[in-house]
Amino acid sequence: FAHWGANNGTLEFEPIAPVAATVDDLNVPKNYDWSPIIRWGDPLFHDSPEFDPRNQTAEAQAKQFGFNNDYLDIMPDAGGTAGVLVCNHEYTNENTMFPADQSEDLQRTASVGIAAHGMAVVEIVREAPGKPWTYVRGGARNRRITADTPFRVDGPAAGSDLLKTVADPEGKTVLGTQNNCSGGVTPWGTILSGEENIQNVLSGPDTPENKRYGIPVEPPKRRWDLVDPRWNGNNAGYENEVNRFGYIVEIDPSDPNSTPVKHTSMGRFKHEGANVYVASDGTVVAYSGDDERFDYLYKFVSEKKYVAGDRAHNMTLLSFGDLYVAKFTGNSEGEIDGSSRLPSDGAFDGAGEWLPLVVDGESKVEGMDVDEVLVFTRLAADKAGATKMDRPEDVEPNPHTGKIYVACTNNTLRGEPGLAGADEANPRNNNRDGHVIEITEDAANSAGTTFHWDILLVCGDPAKNGSAYFSGFPTDKVSPISCPDNVAFDSQGYLWIATDGAPTAIGYNDGLFRVDLTGPKRGRTQQFLSVPQDAETCGPVIHDRENMAYVAVQHPGEDGTFETPRSYFPDYVLPTREGEGQFAMPRPSVIQIFSTTEGEPPFVDEDGR
């Protein structure tokens, strides 16, 4: 197809300079501007109360946009002037959400906090493709998914004794989804979302399984158990509540009355998210990382095949299939000690194997039944001998090539006494800046059990860190990058990387970067935006044919307090203007970046990723 419109519809840009970690501003390239689409507390329904942070209630919050937006998708309808925004609300920052005089009232902060978690589906409209969106209060598809929303549990572990509680003796219905971090959109138009740091809201008995998942025995500081006893698994009848979180959930954003699903088939761990790829024979595979230091990378392979156009059938594909965990093997001589040396053969690369955990409905792990493998997946993968990774966050197949990109965000404990040291796939001890691995399935068979891999980026600020590596691209011509977290692809096949943690690593605000994957510029890394002080860049969505990009700006000013904000993002209303209708406080928000160059891109970018 031809390219039209502003900048020819390729989202061309001049990279921005890195921004010091003390700057409370959102920076975009020349000839682009940004605006918020929706902010924490914005009312979603006609009867939603207006945002009133000094008098916030659980009832109000449950009808408003939640806190700490992470995963994001922007899904235009045919025609491109209406659509939906789908978002995860991962966690809460009580210190910036509540005035100090309310912070001791744990009943209040917990009940509001519970309602601020979950997910949101919000209708959006605009004048024309390429123009900024506004959200629709009272939109027909608007929905808040909260801790009260019933989820159907499916897959081999549904109904397992491990999932039963006094409130759900069948073990097949869970209220709510928690700590949803990243996610993905399926080819059939549903959203996958990963339940991640559930130990922040749940506690449970002192068992080896809970220990392996980092579940505390004492209730965590948010004290949700004061509102509902189920959040503390030491309360009689709720011992298994903790086993009911840590899954990939699937949401249908087109139907606000649909019952979302928890897929036990993809295992239980700290799922960053999941992204699917349809293999040439129609088998659907899903890749997912367990975001913990020294944890693993997983692949699900569907039993049934994708059928184009049959949405109801395709919505069953993730319910049953095989589950594997990755083992990486390097192929260079000698030790990789994490210094600035390249491996002996000049490249970080090697072979890999998908180790079976569940195949054809049978457990492949000695001493564990299928439901145990799927509920205590970390322990199963330990037994299988998987490779301990540096916090695999987003894992996403490139829709243009099927190659998989794994953002290993960082792992400062690698090489510490008693812990795993550097290996070729995790080549740095004290890996502060993270790296990005590229996986190529052997014989282009996404459903197969062997692969090859190489490292695309060893992140860092090359001006200060000799071990930074950009696939051989000159390090004096790249933007410094640290702590890769969420990834996305555009219609041209570029990889986009959002970061989380750069301020404490390389001293710059987090941002969004574009990386060349092919040709002589492979490894070229260019910064597109930077987020305000203390914020993390989440959920990038790139609609390059419309010259637009979207990010969820999470936890702006999180090291401040309600009374002493460290950020005024996104409205930048200063305290002197309080009372004029907006509040002088940071609000996690979804923002859009759009071209200010004249021109009307005619493309509706419905599948820009």
Determine which residue in the list 181, 251, 395, 542 makes contact with ligand FEO, applying CB under 6 A. 181
433 binds, among ligand FEO, Ca ion, none (CB under 5 to 8 A by kind): none
Tokens describing residue 57: 């209630």
Cβ proximity to ligand FEO: between 364 and 555 the closer is 555
CB of 174 vs ligand FEO, minimal distance in Å: 20
Residue 192 near residue 248, CB atoms below 8 Å = yes
What are the residues facing 251 on neighbouring strands? 191
Size of the site for ligand FEO (CB under 6 A): 6
Residues 93 to 122: which contact Ca ion by CB under 5 A? none
Cβ proximity to ligand FEO: between 378 and 524 the closer is 378
CA distance 444 to 194: 27
How many C-beta neighbours within 10 Å does residue 472 have? 12
Determine which residue in the list 94, 168, 195, 196 makes contact with ligand FEO, applying CB under 6 A. 196
CB of 520 vs ligand FEO, minimal distance in Å: 33
CB of 291 vs Ca ion, minimal distance in Å: 6
How many C-beta neighbours within 10 Å does residue 133 have? 25
Residues 236 to 265: which contact ligand FEO by CB under 6 A? none
Cβ proximity to ligand FEO: between 422 and 498 the closer is 498
Determine which residue in the list 228, 485, 490, 546 makes contact with Ca ion, applying CB under 5 A. 485
Q: Is 2 exposed, middle or buried (0-12, 13-18, 19+ CB in 10 A)?
A: exposed
Cβ proximity to ligand FEO: between 193 and 567 the closer is 193
Written as one letter, the residue type at 91 is: Y
CA distance 426 to 338: 8
Q: What angle do CA 424, 425, 430 make, to 5 degrees?
A: 85
- Residue whose pair of structure tokens reads 């190659």 in the numeric block: 403
Alpha-carbon distances, residue 523 vs 14, 435, 506, 513, 520 (angstroms): 17, 12, 19, 11, 9
HSE-up of residue 482 (Cα within 13 Å, Cβ side): 25
CA distance 439 to 449: 12
> Could you tell me which of 40, 84, 31, 38 has the C-alpha nearest to residue 60?
40
CB of 485 vs ligand FEO, minimal distance in Å: 6
Written as one letter, the residue type at 295 is: D
CB of 393 vs Ca ion, minimal distance in Å: 5
Tokens describing residue 281: 């024979």
Cβ proximity to ligand FEO: between 181 and 487 the closer is 181
Cβ proximity to ligand FEO: between 222 and 545 the closer is 222
Cβ proximity to ligand FEO: between 196 and 390 the closer is 196
CB of 485 vs Ca ion, minimal distance in Å: 4
The DSSP 8-state label assigned to residue 443 in this structure reads G
How many C-beta neighbours within 10 Å does residue 411 have? 27
181 counts as binding Ca ion under rule CB under 5 A: yes
Size of the site for Ca ion (CB under 5 A): 5
Pairing of β 261-263 and β 191-195: unpaired
390 counts as binding ligand FEO under rule CB under 6 A: no
Tokens describing residue 114: 């519970």
Task: Determine the length of the chain.
Answer: 609
Cβ proximity to Ca ion: between 93 and 109 the closer is 93
272 counts as binding ligand FEO under rule CB under 6 A: yes
* Helices (H), ranges, 428-536: 502-506
CB of 101 vs Ca ion, minimal distance in Å: 29
CB of 148 vs ligand FEO, minimal distance in Å: 23
Cβ proximity to ligand FEO: between 291 and 424 the closer is 291
Q: Which residue is nearest to Ca ion (CB)?
A: 500
Cβ proximity to Ca ion: between 158 and 497 the closer is 497
70 counts as binding Ca ion under rule CB under 5 A: yes
295 counts as binding Ca ion under rule CB under 5 A: no
Cβ proximity to Ca ion: between 142 and 178 the closer is 178
349 binds, among ligand FEO, Ca ion, none (CB under 5 to 8 A by kind): none
Cβ proximity to ligand FEO: between 90 and 322 the closer is 90
Residue 591 main-chain phi, psi, to 5 deg: -120, 160
CB of 391 vs Ca ion, minimal distance in Å: 8
How many C-beta neighbours within 10 Å does residue 338 have? 18
196 binds, among Ca ion, ligand FEO, none (CB under 5 to 8 A by kind): ligand FEO
Candidate segments 95-103, 172-180, 219-227, 387-395, binder of Ca ion by CB under 5 A = 387-395
Determine which residue in the list 73, 90, 438, 544 makes contact with ligand FEO, applying CB under 6 A. 90
Determine which residue in the list 292, 500, 534, 605 makes contact with Ca ion, applying CB under 5 A. 500
Q: How far is CA 348 from the centre of its chain?
A: 26
What are the residues facing 135 on neighbouring strands? 124
Tokens describing residue 277: 């790829």
- C-alpha dihedral sign at 241, 200, 151, 194: negative
Cβ proximity to ligand FEO: between 94 and 393 the closer is 393
Residue 443, C-beta contacts closer than 8 angstroms, at least 6 positions apart: none
CB of 90 vs ligand FEO, minimal distance in Å: 6
290 counts as binding ligand FEO under rule CB under 6 A: no
Residue 154, C-beta contacts closer than 8 angstroms, at least 6 positions apart: 261, 262, 263, 264, 265, 319
CA distance 238 to 110: 19
CB of 474 vs Ca ion, minimal distance in Å: 28
CA distance 302 to 318: 6
Tokens describing residue 479: 């933007």
195 binds, among Ca ion, ligand FEO, none (CB under 5 to 8 A by kind): none
Determine which residue in the list 393, 438, 461, 510 makes contact with ligand FEO, applying CB under 6 A. 393
CB of 117 vs ligand FEO, minimal distance in Å: 13
Write out the residues near Ca ion by the rule CB under 5 A.
Answer: 70, 181, 393, 485, 500
Write out the residues near ligand FEO by the rule CB under 6 A.
Answer: 90, 181, 196, 272, 291, 393
